[in-house]
A and B are shown apart, each in its own frame.
Chain A
């Protein structure tokens, strides 16, 4: 299995060249996370674009004409290949062609991770990815995390992903490459829990509502209070902040939190929660926290 990251080439194509030091840092982080090869220039083998599912009718044997004396042959596109029932048969024919293929599945329909994982799961060797899916490719962090949790390939360095994200944002320019707050594997809100049923689950066993522990990808679990928070959430928040709260006051504090969450239409900031705590419990947060 060989996972190639082409993020630097994508950034370069978008006019965002990285300096030598940054390239070295990027290389170090991504290799630690589990990529096998970091590419910083044009692909060295042959390239062919099969942009649409209709391209699946292309006979894999014809690809041999594009292969360049044994070097790897990169196939771009196939963004919508999953929309055809015979996509697996086509991928199998590609694998059986004996060519050193390295698909760079396109992600215009959000299927590149699924296609890449299916390709690797069924015996494909090479795959081209990019960080956060830049350049319309399979997001590297999704592929590496999926391979790890499905036991297809262990990676002990996924916890560097937030550092890679910070460098990626710097290299790409925040205005162009902001990553969604719920972006799979990377989003800052992935392990933030607010609703009552999920806080309850978290208290019983975090694995109930998490696909993997946040530490695996260098993230932290966070508790947010808002319109759906119940007594369990309030009790946990008070306990984390070292605030004493009598059982009778928990319900009242939870009601106040929910009311403010509904009014604001968002989670409460710490200061807002502490203000409610003072109002309901009659004690200043600063006076009792951690006492």
Chain B
């Protein structure tokens, strides 16, 4: 039975949901809950946001006894320097891979963008950092471009790639297919699913079944728009799968969400992003 590990992004992606702000105290409390529950990785923040954020990341790192801490970074020299200064265990570099993102957001062509990503990855790896590459908007990107980039990144020392379904348009079949494609380039793959079409947990599970070894979750599924793959919901689903062992059990995940809900200062049912009708009976036959 192989291990499937959770990398929780509540403190980074969850904080981007409208109306949420985590004070340092609350970040540390959330991190402690996740750490105590057995979550392997916590994405603690974005060093490039400034000194205060970097202080928060260090505080989260200090608060964790077993969970390892990663940071989210743009592929820019100054952001990489800021991240190296935080002492996190993993430096995650976001690399937009769809033409739409590369052209409209970065104002580059794909070749220029890829060259910049490789330079950033080489810089971080050269400084001894463990690096993961985040393929932003992978679900709308050209597969050939992603595969070539992944192979080049592996040569620079990147061992993990995150498949980011940035706008939540993956399906179970396509999630599995992307994992199988990129598995040819790097040994470790991570799935980051959004819930825009109500399939975040299903897509994450199918990616794991296809070989992904890390799944991104967030507490109560909070995140941009319809949110992310929910920690407790995914854990419940994965527990039914006999093919892999997860780093935390469904009871631990449920406890994290119960105890975290007051910190998030919203009604739990509303926060979960799901309909409040879940508790109603099944449709009678």
**B1 interfacial contact with A, CB 8 Å:** no
Interface segment, one of A142-150, A237-245, A270-278, A280-288: A142-150
A85 in the interface, Cβ–Cβ < 8 Å? yes
- Give the nearest-CB partner of B223 in chain A: A182
Stretch at the interface among B27-35, B98-106, B154-162, B182-190: B98-106
The reply to whether A14 and B280 contact each other, CB–CB distance below 8 Å, is yes
1/0 contact string of A100-112 vs chain B (CB within 8 Å): 0000101101110
CB of B17 to closest CB in A, whole Å: 7
B277 and A187 form a contact (CB under 8 A)? no
Cβ A85 vs Cβ B277 within 8 A: no
The answer to whether A266 touches B19, judged by C-beta atoms less than 8 angstroms apart, is yes
Q: How far is the CA of A208 from the CA of B222 in the complex (A)?
A: 20
A9: chain B residues at CB < 8 Å are: 283
Q: Is A93 an interface residue (CB 8 A)?
A: no
A141 to chain B: closest CB distance in Å?
9
User: In the complex, how many angstroms separate the beta carbon of B263 from the nearest chain A beta carbon?
Assistant: 10
Q: Which positions 183-242 of chain B face chain A at CB distance < 8 Å? A: 195-203, 205-206, 209, 221-222, 224-227, 230, 233, 236-238, 240-241
Max chain A C-beta neighbours (<10 A), residue from B16, B171, B199, B203 = B199
A144 to chain B, nearest CB (A): 10
Q: A64 → chain B, closest Cβ, in Å? A: 19
Is there contact, CB below 8 Å, between B100 and A208?
yes
Interface of chain B: mostly helix, strand, loop or mixed: loop
Once the chains are docked, how many angstroms separate the CA of A185 from the CA of B199?
12
- Range class of the A interface residue count: 35 or more
Whether A224 and B277, one on each chain, are in contact in the complex, defined by CB atoms closer than 8 angstroms, is no
- Do A10 and B205 contact each other (CB < 8 Å), given the known contacts A109-B237, A113-B199, A118-B172? no
User: Quick one: which of B92-132 are within 8 Å of A by CB?
Assistant: 100-101, 104-105
Q: Scan residues 181-236 of chain A and give those whose CB is less than 8 A from a CB of chain B.
A: 181-187, 189-195, 197-198, 201, 204-205, 207-211, 224, 226-228
A16 to chain B: closest CB distance in Å? 10
Contact between chains at A135 and B169 (CB < 8 Å):
no
Inter-chain contacts of B101 with A (CB < 8 A): 208
Interface contact A266-B265, CB-CB below 8 Å:
yes
Segment among A17-25, A76-84, A153-161, A246-254 that sits at the interface with chain B: A76-84
Residue of A nearest to B276 (CB): A178
Which residue from B206, B222, B243 sits with its C-beta under 8 Å from A182? B222
B245-278 vs A, Cβ < 8 Å mask (1 yes, 0 no): 0000000000000000000010001111111111
Q: Report the minimum CB–CB distance from B2 to chain A (whole Å).
A: 13
| Contact, CB under 8 Å: B273 / A187 | yes
Docked Cα-Cα span, A224 to B18, in Å, equals 7
Q: Are A180 and B273 in contact (CB under 8 A)?
A: yes
Contacts of A150 in B (CB 8 A): 169, 171
Q: Closest chain B residue to A175 by CB distance?
A: B276
User: CA of A117 to CA of B173 in the docked complex: distance in angstroms?
Assistant: 10
A267 to B20, CA, bound (A): 8
Does B62 interact with chain A (Cβ within 8 Å)? no
- Chain A residues lying within 8 Å of B270, measured Cβ to Cβ, are 178, 180-182
Does A121 touch B at the CB level, under 8 Å?
Answer: yes
The closest CB in chain A to the CB of B74 belongs to A197
Contact indicator A208/B105 (Cβ below 8 Å): yes
A-contacting residues, B1-51, CB 8 Å: 15-21, 23
Contact B21 A185 (CB under 8 A): no
B-chain residues with CB within 8 Å of residue A194 when the two chains form the complex:
16-19
Give the CA-CA distance A49 to B283 in the complex, in Å.
Answer: 11
**Which residues does chain B contribute within 8 Å of A184, judged by CB atoms?**
168, 195-198, 226, 273
Is the Cβ of B283 less than 8 Å from the Cβ of A110? no
Complex CA gap A183/B271 in Å reads 9
With contacts A133-B277, A209-B167 known, is A180 near B202, CB below 8 A? no
* Residue of B18, B236, B265, B271 with highest tally of chain A CB at under 10 A: B18
A194 and B270 alpha carbons, distance in the complex (Å): 18
A180 touches B100 (CB 8 A): no
Q: A134-B275, A227-B21, A228-B21 are in contact. Are A114 and B226 (CB under 8 A)?
A: no
The 5 A-B residue pairs whose C-beta atoms are closest, nearest first, are A114-B202, A182-B273, A227-B21, A135-B283, A142-B198
> B-side interface residues toward A, CB under 8 Å?
15-21, 23, 100-101, 104-105, 137, 166-169, 171-173, 195-203, 205-206, 209, 221-222, 224-227, 230, 233, 236-238, 240-241, 243, 265, 269-278, 280-285
Give the B-binding residues of A (Cβ under 8 A): 6, 9-10, 13-14, 43, 47, 49, 53, 76, 80, 82-85, 104, 106-107, 109-111, 113-115, 117-118, 121, 130, 132-137, 139, 142, 145-146, 149-150, 172, 176-187, 189-195, 197-198, 201, 204-205, 207-211, 224, 226-228, 261-262, 265-267
Beyond A142-B199, A178-B276, 4 additional pairs, beta carbon < 8 A: A14-B281, A135-B277, A184-B195, A267-B19
Q: List 9 A-B contacts (CB under 8 A).
A: A49-B285, A82-B202, A111-B201, A114-B172, A179-B275, A179-B276, A182-B221, A182-B271, A267-B19
